[in-house]
Structures are given as structure tokens and as C-alpha cells.
Amino acid sequence: MKPQIEARIEALIGKLCANHSLELDEYECLLENYSEGAFRLLKKHAQKLRHEIYAHEIFVRGLIEISNICKNNCYYCGIRRDNSNCERYRLTPEQILECSDEGYDLGFRTFVLQGGEDSYFTDAILGGIIREIKSRHPDCAITLSLGERSFESYRFLRESGADRYLLRHETADEEHYNKLHPSEMSFTNRMQCLRNLRELGYYVGCGFMVGSPFQTNKTLAKDLKFIEQFKPEMCGIGPFIPHKDTQFRDYKAGTLELTCYLLSIIRIIHPPILLPATTALGTIDKLGRELGILAGANVVMPNLSPVNVRKKYELYDNKICTGEESAQCRSCLNNRMLSIGYEIVTSRGDLRNTERRV
Ligand code: SAM
Ligand code: FES
């Protein structure tokens, strides 16, 4: 890299650390000029900020994949409606409760109920499940990740006891959004859902895939600006990985390098953010989750779904933790984190250093 560019990147990183903010074109410049040196510097700052707030603690979330039935047809997703090769399943409320009981005994204090947009899960059914988990385990937080619902529905679920909601915005660029989704889905509604969730007092998580088709440094810069301005409590980013039964099957997967670079930048933009090292990152590289943590992530989300359905929740090809080994995710991740000097803690894992607590 030319010395002038190197100096410019160093100055931009200095500015980002001082202000937790950059102009759009500055984010773009940081992305255009990825280098190992720039990553090392960002990672050093990201680690320092993260250690000041969370020390070497890693928060853990028990992921329960409640259904792979979905009314949507997102072009990238393996459980999209039109994928007739996808063998569909839905957990019963009793199965979901069993997963959370088992998770509780393993030390989980947050459960994430994730699934496709499955109309079986009405407000009444979900509300019943949420209330029952909360009454059995009052010291736990419940996170939902069930896609777009109405304001009234989000309100009902919040009043039933849900604490947090993950809804990736997927991209902050409307044109890009429209290339990833069919016309019946709308960027405006996605963004409105995030604002509604915020208004209702949820901890809100946005996020996007790294290296999704048609993504550019310009669209990524917009994602970073959106995170800077919206200040989500959580942000899920992981590489896009093609799924054989989607129209994006021949596109390249996102990279480990860019994902880790972005994790460091996001940590610096919003130091207290809850940032997972995702399963997708662990799928593109054996040590992906460890490297994600070292880049600034502080959350892992092992799978608690019944082992016999895990292969069916295949958003992308070759997803890890779906075979025989998968019953052991919690202890596997414990060991992985210990191997890099971090430790999984038994707690709800709320955001620190902030007034808000739900
Ligand atoms: N239905 C809910 C929703 O829309 O938020 C939750 C489930 S959805 C499958 C969870 C996330 O998986 C999506 O937001 C998307 O970013 C990610 N995802 C889907 N297909 C993927 C792929 N091929 N590679 C990587 N991530 C993918
Ligand atoms: Fe699932 Fe290692 S985290 S097997």
C-alpha cells in the first residue's frame, strides 16, 4: 500500500476511535483499503474497548430453531418458501419448553427462539410459550427472531415477556435490498419493524450478511452508518454462504477477513454492542468463531434445537453443528473460548455501560 494511503487509513482509524463515527465516504475508504496492517490496528482498538466493558467474558445464547416453515422467499435463504427440497418441521410448544429446560440446566440464561415466518406461531401460541419459559426460569431473557410482524403483535409479545428481538436489516441500501428479496418484501417495512421494536422497549438487533450478492463497499458503508445512527443493542453479521437450492447458488461466499474487519469496526462504532461470532463464520472457517471473538465479538449462540431437526434448518450449505457432535455445542464452545483466553459466563448477558436494561 502507498504510504499516503496508509497514513490516510491510520488517520481514519484514529478518527473512528475518537468519535465513534465517520462520514459515509470515509467508511467506504476504510473498506476499499483493507490490509492486514489496517485490520491489526482496528482489532487492537476493538479488543481494548471490548475488554474495558466486558473483560474476557463471553455471553452465550441458546438458539432454538422453532420452525423452518416460512412464507417468505428471500433469494439467498435455504428455507425459502419455494424450496421444495427443504424438509419442513415445526417444534411443538412442549418441545420448545423442553429445549429451554435443558438449556437452563446447561447454564443458559438467554434463549433465542428463531424461525421462518410460520403462521402457526400466532401471538396467542407464542405468548403462551414465552410466559411459560419466564415462569419456569424468571432469571432468563427471551430473544425472538421471527421476522416481520405487526406493531400490535410485537407489543403483545413484549407484554408476554419477550426482552429482545433480532431482525437483521440485511442491507441499508434499498436498491440492494430489492436485489436480495422478491417484490412482495419491502425495505421500508423492514426498517419500520426495527423502529417499532425499539419504540416498544425491546433490545433490538439488526445485522447483515457479509459478501451477499450485489453488496459493494458503498452499500456496506451505508450499513455501518446505519449502525452508527440506530445504535442497536445487538448486531448479527456473518458471511453469506450460498445454498444449493437458491438462485444465488453460484455466488461466492463472504470471507473471514472482511467479516472480522467489520466486527472490529462495529465494536469501535458502538463499544457496548452485543456482537455474536456467528455459526456462519464458524462454517466458512474451522476457527471462524474464535477469530470473530478476537476481532471484537463477545457473544456465541450454540444450538439447543433437538438434534434430529438441526440439519433441516439449513439456511446455507454445510452448516456446522448439525451432526452427531451437535449435542455437545455448549461444551465444545466452552473449550474453544478457553483456548483463546476467554470464558463463557452463566448470565443473561445484558448490555453494559448503558442506562437501558430490559
Ligand atoms: N425469519 C427470521 C428473519 O427473517 O429475521 C429469522 C430467520 S432468518 C433465516 C435469519 C438470518 O439468516 C437472516 O436474517 C439472514 O441474514 C441469514 N441467512 C439466510 N440465508 C443465509 C445464507 N445463505 N448465508 C448466510 N446467512 C443467511
Ligand atoms: Fe457446535 Fe462445536 S459449537 S459442535
Write down the pTM of the prediction.
0.97
47-56 pLDDT, tens digit per residue, is: 999 999 999 9
Quote the pLDDT of residue 348.
96
- For residue 214, what is its C-alpha cell? 450485489
- For residue 299, what is its C-alpha cell? 457473544
Instruction: Report whether residue 41 contacts ligand 2, using a CB cutoff of 6 Å.
Output: no
Quote the pLDDT of residue 354.
57
Kindly give the distance from the C-alpha atom of residue 357 to the centroid of ligand 1, in angstroms, as a whole number.
Answer: 27
6-29 pLDDT, tens digit per residue, is: 999 999 999 999 999 999 999 999
**Alpha-carbon separation of residue 228 from 22, 70, 165, 297, 350 (angstroms):** 9, 31, 19, 17, 20
- Residues 97-125: what's their mean pLDDT? 97
- For residue 322, what is its C-alpha cell? 448439525
Quote the pLDDT of residue 77.
98
Kindly give the distance from the C-alpha atom of residue 315 to the centroid of ligand 1, in angstroms, as a whole number.
Answer: 7
What is the rounded end-to-end Cα distance, in angstroms, of the chain?
46
Quote the pLDDT of residue 321.
92
- Residues 307-325: what's their mean pLDDT? 92
Which residue has better confidence, 148 or 1? 148
Q: What are phi and psi of 17, to 5 degrees?
A: -70, -35
Kindly give the distance from the C-alpha atom of residue 101 to the centroid of ligand 2, in angstroms, as a whole number.
Answer: 19
Quick check: 122 pLDDT over 60? Answer: yes
Ligand 1 proximal residues by C-beta, below 6 Å: 76-77, 114, 116-117, 145-147, 167-168, 170, 209, 238, 240-241, 243, 280, 315-316
- Residues 292-296: what's their mean pLDDT? 98
Quick check: 121 pLDDT over 70? Answer: yes
Quick check: 117 pLDDT over 80? Answer: yes
Instruction: Report whether residue 321 contacts ligand 2, using a CB cutoff of 6 Å.
Output: yes
338/185 Cα distance (integer angstroms): 42
Inter-residue long-range contacts of 290-293, CB under 8 Å, 24+ positions, other chains counted: 290/336, 290/337, 290/339, 290/340, 291/256, 291/260, 292/259, 292/260, 292/263, 293/58, 293/337, 293/340, 293/342
Quote the pLDDT of residue 324.
78
For the CA of 146, the closest atom of ligand 1 is 2
Quote the pLDDT of residue 217.
98
User: Residue 353 in contact with residue 271, Cβ under 8 Å?
Assistant: yes
Instruction: Report whether residue 332 contacts ligand 2, using a CB cutoff of 6 Å.
Output: yes
Quick check: 340 pLDDT over 60? Answer: yes
Instruction: Report whether residue 287 contacts ligand 2, using a CB cutoff of 6 Å.
Output: no
β-sheet with 343-344: strand ranges across: 299-300, 57-60, 343-344
What residue owns the CA closest to ligand 1's atom 2?
Answer: 147
Instruction: Report whether residue 329 contacts ligand 2, using a CB cutoff of 6 Å.
Output: yes
Confidence class of residue 231 from pLDDT cuts 50, 70 and 90?
A: very high
- Residues 240-266: what's their mean pLDDT? 98
Mean model confidence pLDDT for the chain? 96
Quote the pLDDT of residue 353.
72
Quote the pLDDT of residue 356.
45
Quick check: 357 pLDDT over 60? Answer: no
Pocket test for ligand 2, best of 320, 331, 339, 344 (most atoms within 8 A of CB): 320
Q: Which of 281, 250, 255, 305 is nearest to 103 (CA)?
A: 305
Nearest bound ligand to the CA of residue 113: 1
What residue owns the CA closest to ligand 2's atom 3?
Answer: 329
Quick check: 304 pLDDT over 60? Answer: yes
Confidence class of residue 328 from pLDDT cuts 50, 70 and 90?
A: confident
